[in-house]
Amino acid sequence: MAKYIFKRVLLAIVTIFIVCMITFFTMNAIPGGPFAGEKAKSPEVQAALEKRFNLDKPVGQQFVIYMGNMLQGDFGISAKTGREISQTIGSKFSVSAKLGIFAVLTAVVIGVVLGSIAALMRNRVPDRVIIFMSTLFTSLPSFVLGSFLLVIFSVKLGWVKAWSPTEQNLVLPVLALAAYPASYITRLTKTSMLDVLGQDYVRTARAKGVASWKVLFIHTLRNALIPVVTYLGPMIASVLTGSLVVEQIFTIGGLGAEFVQSITNRDYPMIMGVTIFLAVFMVTMNLLTDIVYKLIDPRITLD
Amino acid sequence: MAEETILSVIDLHTSFTTDKGEVKAVNGVSFNLTAGKILGIVGESGSGKSVSAYSIMQILEKNGSIKSGQILYKGEDITKWPESKMRDFRGKRCSIIFQDPMTSLNPVFTIGYQLEEAIKLHTDRRGKEARDRAIEMLELVGVNEPQKRIKQYPFEFSGGMRQRVMIAMALACEPDILIADEPTTALDVTIQAQILELMKDLQAKLGMAIIMVTHDLGVIAQMADEIIVMYGGRVCERGTAEDIFYRPAHEYTKGLLRSIPSVDTMGQRLEPISGTPINLLNMPKGCAFCPRCDAAMKICLEEQPPETRTVDGHLAACWQAIRAEIDAGMIRAEQKA
Ligand SMILES: Nc1ncnc2c1ncn2[C@@H]1O[C@H](COP(=O)(O)OP(=O)(O)O)[C@@H](O)[C@H]1O
Ligand SMILES: [Mg+2]
């Protein structure tokens, strides 16, 4: 296990390095730059800025300098705002992550519970309703759902306050974020639960005299959740790093919004910072998923 | 010692509700199981053997239920028992092992956990005591290095070893009855023999009664004290192994015997029973086997044959056997006169 993790971490470092390289060079290859903005600047200011951000040097050298600084934990400052990149990412991510964690928890709880109910009441009314709803929510784009939620519950009914920087009401954005993964997990759980319920070992458990609720929670659910766990890693990564669409609709200044903005701004240090952060995050989530997967399914060998 | 009947199944009817209608899988099965004896149940696949076994344990699938009949365990009708009481029947009074050991153990729990779970459910043993009992059981069924094996998962065991674990689990709480539902069907021939040998050994040591379900007459030939032959959810014939093998009276039993290799039939062609098993959605009025029977008579189509004593004294439900008995009776009468 330790050996496996060590190997994976090495691999992750290589992956992240490659991501850095590709991002850095493509970013520089695209026409324009951080200071090719609307307002004309005097040649002196332009030159000074370019010098400050090493833009006067060849791209290769810039990359070496950047990587060198990064290894010392210095991600530089934003070419637009002048603020520390690491600070900006930290504060933006904390917003996205808070939303994301609630959304993930909501999605998992709703998905597993509804999926199990649908499986246990197969072909009866609750199953039909649950599957109809989950089909609906998987096919509804998040910008439609987000706008709907906002208009209906916040504007029309006034039940829930909309998000604002001072009053960060999580309910609506969490629902908008959780809807798709919740529906997906519902269907995943139902399918896999039905499969497991028909397995011989479930019958063995009953034949041993295990109470039916224990058969369900101990012998069935653990096996049924294996596919859900494999979906969890990528899902957590995508939800926690912020959904651009949902953040835009609810005007939440999260990482998703920040990333897109940094690209339109050609804010090179910011693009690099966010990219590296996302890459590290994804890689870590994948590794964690594999480890959890191994923990709940002993048949999996990590090698 | 008087022979004690530990389990009596009386006129059991079990059916399943399906989209296509009611599948009548068991249609009036009766038998007695004597304490400490081995009862064999044979029949082609689909003849209702497993459903009979699951009915006894009340572990039928959701769409199935016992429609009528009684199952007396030590004189008490367990079909009337509430689920909570049935939980104590399962695993403690009566255990079952299944056909496919590869899928019968939960893949995500260790062998030890699964054995100890059964032990903790039905005994006062906890912690180390439960573990020791689990190790003792593994030793008993011939699993080597039980201390090590107990920490392993099912995927680390071969099919034969898994079936041994299933047997260990079934017998851990010393039940009076062990139902073995085709315990060797999924195994290699050499392993089959080992498992059968083990079951015989354990039966001699522990003294439980065994219901040995199989579609393979050869499997129970040397084991069973009594054999029931089933077809279409009914009992066709019952008797000792000798009765069934050397003096089969029911046309279906005769067909079954022609379809298995034996010393007597060496060199001859084996004949599988022609035709397809009956449609349980729509049971025939007469004998269930009639549509496939070469010796069918008119009455076979119209009326169900009652179980009747054959010439040598065992029971068969076959009009041909009844006719033979009548003929023999007439001959005896003639001889007397
Ligand atoms: N859950 C079920 N739903 C519908 N039919 C079933 C179900 N379980 C068993 N049956 C039917 O009952 C009949 C007897 O099955 P079974 O007892 O398993 O046969 P076998 O003698 O091979 O063990 C078969 O025709 C089978 O299709
Ligand atoms: Mg069967």
Tens digits of per-residue pLDDT, B302-317? 888 888 888 788 898 9
Cβ-Cβ contacts under 8 Å, B91 against chain A: 207-209
| Residue B306 three-state SS | coil
* Structure confidence at residue B280 as a pLDDT band (50, 70, 90): confident
Does the pLDDT value for residue B330 go beyond 80? no
Tell whether A144 is within 8 A of chain B (Cβ): no
Looking at the complex, report in whole angstroms how far the Cα of residue B279 sits from the nearest Cα belonging to chain A: 24
User: Do residue A207 and residue B90 have CB atoms under 8 angstroms apart?
Assistant: yes
Q: Would residue A295 count as lying in a domain?
A: no
Which sign does the torsion angle of CA A206, A210, A213, A215 carry? negative
Q: Residues A151-187: pLDDT tens digits?
A: 888 888 877 777 776 777 788 888 888 999 999 999 9
Name the most confidently modeled range: A140-144, B137-141, B319-323.
Answer: B137-141
Looking at the complex, report in whole angstroms how far the Cα of residue B332 sits from the nearest Cα belonging to chain A: 52
> What's the average model confidence in pLDDT over B44-62?
93
Residues 6+ apart with CB under 8 A from B118: A208, A209, B91, B169, B172, B173
Under a CB-based contact definition with an 8 Å cutoff, are residues A79 and A270 in contact? Answer: yes
Q: Would residue A240 count as lying in a domain?
A: yes
Q: Which two tokens stand for residue A55?
A: 């833009």
Q: Which two tokens stand for residue B264?
A: 């007597």
Q: Would residue A46 count as lying in a domain?
A: no
B231/B226 Cα distance (integer angstroms): 17
Does the pLDDT value for residue B135 go beyond 90? yes
Q: Rounded to the nearest 5°, which phi and psi values hold at B231?
A: -150, 135
Q: What domain range includes position A105?
A: 86-267
Supply the pLDDT for residue B258.
Answer: 81
Under a CB-based contact definition with an 8 Å cutoff, are residues B177 and B72 in contact? Answer: no
- CATH code (residue A222): 1.10.3720.10
A74/B216 Cα distance (integer angstroms): 76
Under a CB-based contact definition with an 8 Å cutoff, are residues A64 and A54 in contact? Answer: no
B104/A201 Cα distance (integer angstroms): 4
For residue B43, the CA-to-ligand 2 centroid distance in Å is: 9
Weakest mean pLDDT among B119-133, B157-171, B262-276: B262-276
Cβ-Cβ contacts under 8 Å, A210 against chain B: 87, 117, 121
User: Do residue A222 and residue B108 have CB atoms under 8 angstroms apart?
Assistant: yes
Specify burial of residue B306 (Cβ count, 10 A radius: 0-12, 13-18, 19+). exposed
Tell whether A219 is within 8 A of chain B (Cβ): yes
Weakest mean pLDDT among A115-124, B60-69, B327-336: B327-336
For residue B218, the CA-to-ligand 2 centroid distance in Å is: 16
Q: Return the closest-CA partner of residue A187 out of A126, A133, A125.
A: A133
Under a CB-based contact definition with an 8 Å cutoff, are residues A238 and A5 in contact? Answer: no
Predicted TM-score (pTM) of the model is: 0.84
Q: Would residue A197 count as lying in a domain?
A: yes
Under a CB-based contact definition with an 8 Å cutoff, are residues B169 and B111 in contact? Answer: no
Nearest CA to ligand 1 atom 19: B46
Supply the pLDDT for residue B324.
Answer: 83
Supply the pLDDT for residue A183.
Answer: 94
The interface predicted TM-score (ipTM) is: 0.89
Q: Would residue A63 count as lying in a domain?
A: no
Number of Cβ within a 10 Å radius of residue B69: 18
> What's the average model confidence in pLDDT over B32-58?
93
Looking at the complex, report in whole angstroms how far the Cα of residue A206 sits from the nearest Cα belonging to chain B: 7
Q: Would residue A196 count as lying in a domain?
A: yes
Q: Rounded to the nearest 5°, which phi and psi values hold at B209?
A: -85, 150
Ranges in chain A, pLDDT < 50: none
Looking at the complex, report in whole angstroms how far the Cα of residue B243 sits from the nearest Cα belonging to chain A: 33
For residue B45, the CA-to-ligand 1 centroid distance in Å is: 9
Q: Residues A98-128: pLDDT tens digits?
A: 888 999 999 999 999 999 999 999 889 999 9
Ligand 2 ion: residues within 5 Å (CB): B 50
Mutate to test the interface with B, among A124, A193, A204 (most CBs of B within 10 A): A204
Comparing alpha-carbon positions, the chain B residue that sits nearest to A224 is B108
> What's the average model confidence in pLDDT over B255-261?
79
Comparing alpha-carbon positions, the chain A residue that sits nearest to B89 is A209
Spatial strand order of the sheet with B209-214 comes to: B94-97, B177-181, B209-214, B38-42, B226-231, B234-239, B315-316, B308-309
Cβ-Cβ contacts under 8 Å, A296 against chain B: 108
Domains of chain A: total: 1
Supply the pLDDT for residue B335.
Answer: 75
Under a CB-based contact definition with an 8 Å cutoff, are residues B31 and A175 in contact? Answer: no
| Atom number in ligand 1 closest to CA B47 | 21
Query: Residues of B at the A interface (Cβ-Cβ below 8 Å)?
Result: 57, 59, 83, 87-92, 95-96, 98, 100, 103-108, 110, 117-118, 121-122, 153, 155, 166, 169
Q: Rounded to the nearest 5°, which phi and psi values hold at A201?
A: -70, -20
Q: Is the CB–ligand 1 distance for residue B179 below 6 Å?
A: no
For residue B47, the CA-to-ligand 2 centroid distance in Å is: 8
Looking at the complex, report in whole angstroms how far the Cα of residue A199 sits from the nearest Cα belonging to chain B: 7
Q: Would residue A51 count as lying in a domain?
A: no
| Residue B178 three-state SS | strand
If DSSP states are collapsed to H, E and C, what string results for A238-273? HHHCCCHHHHHHCCCCCHHHHHHHHHHCCCHHHHHH
Which sign does the torsion angle of CA B247, B251, B253, B254 carry? positive
Nearest CA to ligand 1 atom 2: B16
The amino acid occupying position A138 is T
Q: Is the CB–ligand 1 distance for residue B19 below 6 Å?
A: no
> What's the average model confidence in pLDDT over B292-309?
85
Q: Is the CB–ligand 1 distance for residue B47 below 6 Å?
A: yes
Residue, of A4 and B8, whose pLDDT is higher? B8
